[in-house]
A and B are shown apart, each in its own frame.
Chain A
Amino acid sequence: MYKYDRKGPKRGVSLYSYSAEYGFTKSLEECFEDMYDMGAHGLEILANSHIENYPYPTDEWVDKWFRLCDKYEIVPVEYGNWIDSHVLRDRDLTTEEAYKLLERDIRLAHRLGFTVMRTKMPVINEKLEPVLNWREIIKMALPLAEQLGIKMCPEIHIPTNLNGEMVKSYVDFIKETGTKNFGLNIDFGVFRTEFAPGEWKDPAFTPNKPEDLIPLIPYIYCCHAKFFNVDDNFRETTMDYAAIINTLADNGWDGYLLSEYEGADKYDPGYEVGQTLRKHHILMKNIIGD
């Protein structure tokens, strides 16, 4: 299996970015080749989107998966999964039922070579707080995650603040349990300082400073390198990208920065997200060096 040995922040892509093109003008292999063009080695998939016959892929599909990873020098990094507690209309799943879904995803993530999971929690209110039994669900999964070398990470996404209560509750859980198999995925949207005139801005959002990352570094296993606008000089105009990446690098962080393009314009006819991702990778390569 292909290995990329560089230490520190490394470049990768979340296939979520291709949502508007996947299945129409891009296959899994074409996304991989696009990443290869960019020299991006780290991969995030969304389990429910990119695994054929999810959650029960065939052995043939898994063989093809590893063949493509080798061919395009891809490291499976993050497996995007959802704890779908609200999947039924009339009641929530029990803790045991939710764990069963999570267990199946942990096993499948491991089977495909992933080491981190972006574990999306089911929410209960408009502040996007997770279900009350999230600790019980995760605790049930910790032994299997440890055995298979998987780190489950909720994504910290605006309007959540790195210094806020939700992050604190996750960090407290990590400290209480002493686990190395649950951590954080930081979405760089939390660092956004610039908005276009008239652009909607969540009133609950306050931007973080790059140094807010420092106390969290031991718990961050992956980042969503969110970006909004890379100009033609390959600069992100809405946040200080170099300061964010250098803060991670200077504090000994080792992991993947996964490009995630969330702009709704990717659904516009004729839009090609590959070019948008390439601009972002020129920007990151210029900061990281590879």
Chain B
Amino acid sequence: MEREVIQSVGFRNIKNGDEVTGFQFKVRLPYYRGVFLSQLRPGTLFVDGERIEKDDITWVIRGEEFTNEQMRENYQINWDITTPATLKVKKQGGLAQGWHTLKYGFSFSSSYMPPMMQSDDALDPDKEFFIFMPEFGHHVNERTMLIV
């Protein structure tokens, strides 16, 4: 596992037969403990500045694929800190060969943190928390990587 939240391993186009239907990349959980899926706040993805809504992205955790909506109610499955999740993005034709900059935001709630740090605004995955705590990582991460 790489220290960067957006992992370089796992970044590729997704093929269905001969057809390229999208692409995928992996993120690790930048926290010191695992979280249940309902704690996650998936955000918006920007690929080379192009906006992709959170509902167009599915998460694969422990081999199971979840939509944003499915994760919202699921507090039985835990995403652990040592296994990156795979994010699948629908995009006809996938990404072109060459460099791409991915900017992606996600955050997570925590039952023992005071309410002011748990508001929708504080947990907004698309902007940074008002104070940076290394233990909780950044909400928004960016990485430039190659598609072959």
Task: Using CB atoms and an 8 Å cutoff, list the residues of chain A in contact with chain B.
Answer: 16, 19-20, 22-24, 46, 48-49, 52-55, 82-89, 120-126, 128, 264, 267
B38: chain A residues within 8 A (beta carbon): 87-89
A218→B62 CA distance, assembly (Å): 43
Q: Are A24 and B80 in contact (CB under 8 A)?
A: no
Q: How far is the CB of A139 from chain B (nearest CB, A)?
A: 19
Contacting pair A87 B72 (CB below 8 A): no
Residues of B within 8 A of A55 (CB): 78
Task: Please tell me which one of the listed residues B73, B75, B82, B112 contacts residue A120 in the complex, with CB atoms under 8 A apart.
Answer: B112
Chain A residues contacting B116 (CB-CB under 8 Å) are 126
Specify which chain B residues have a CB less than 8 angstroms from the CB of A52 in the assembled complex: 80, 82
Quick one: given A24-B1, A49-B33, A54-B34, are A87 and B114 in contact (CB under 8 Å)? no
Asked if B44 lies at the interface with its beta carbon under 8 angstroms from chain A, I say no
Closest to A98 in B: B111
Q: Do A23 and B81 have beta carbons less than 8 Å apart?
A: yes
Q: Is the CB of A49 within 8 A of B111?
A: no
Chain B nearest CB, measured from A85 CB (Å): 6
Residues of B near A84 (CB, < 8 A) are: 36, 39, 75, 111
Q: Are B39 and A125 in contact (CB under 8 A)?
A: no
The reply to whether the CB of B51 lies closer than 8 angstroms to some CB of chain A is: no
Question: A-B pairs with the 6 shortest C-beta distances?
Answer: A267-B134, A23-B82, A122-B111, A19-B32, A86-B111, A48-B34
Q: What 12 new A-B contacts, CB under 8 Å, besides A49-B33, A54-B34, A125-B115?
A: A22-B32, A22-B81, A48-B34, A54-B80, A87-B36, A88-B38, A121-B112, A122-B112, A123-B113, A125-B114, A264-B133, A267-B134
Residue contact B111 to A83, C-beta cutoff 8 Å = yes
Q: Are A87 and B109 neighbours in the complex by a CB distance under 8 Å?
A: yes
Q: With A22-B81, A124-B115 known to touch, is A87 a contact of B39 (CB < 8 Å)?
A: yes
CA distance A250 to B25 in the complex (A): 57
Interface of B is mostly: loop
A48 to B75 CA separation, bound complex (whole angstroms): 13
6 residue pairs from A and B, CB less than 8 Å apart: A19-B135, A54-B80, A87-B111, A124-B115, A125-B115, A264-B133
Q: Mark B110-147, 1 if CB is under 8 A from A, else 0.
A: 01111110100000000000000111000000000000
Interfacial residues of chain B within 87-110, with CB under 8 A of chain A in the complex: 109
CB neighbours of B80 from chain A (8 A): 48-49, 52-54
Given A19-B32, A89-B38, A264-B134, residue A123 in contact with residue B78 (CB < 8 A)? no
Given that A19-B32, A87-B38, A267-B134 are known contacts, is A48 also in contact with B78, CB under 8 Å in the complex?
yes
Q: Does the CB pair A23–B1 fall under 8 Å?
A: yes
Q: How long is the Cα–Cα vector from A213 to B27 in the complex, in angstroms?
A: 44
Question: Which A residues touch B81, using CB under 8 A?
Answer: 22-23, 49
Chain A residues, Cβ within 8 Å of B32:
16, 19, 22, 46, 49
Q: How far is the CB of B114 from chain A (nearest CB, A)?
A: 5
Contacts of A83 in B (CB 8 A): 111
Do A48 and B33 have beta carbons less than 8 Å apart? yes
Contact A89 B109, CB 8 Å, known A22-B82, A84-B75: yes
Q: With A23-B82, A48-B33 as given contacts, are A267 and B109 in contact (CB-CB < 8 Å)? A: no
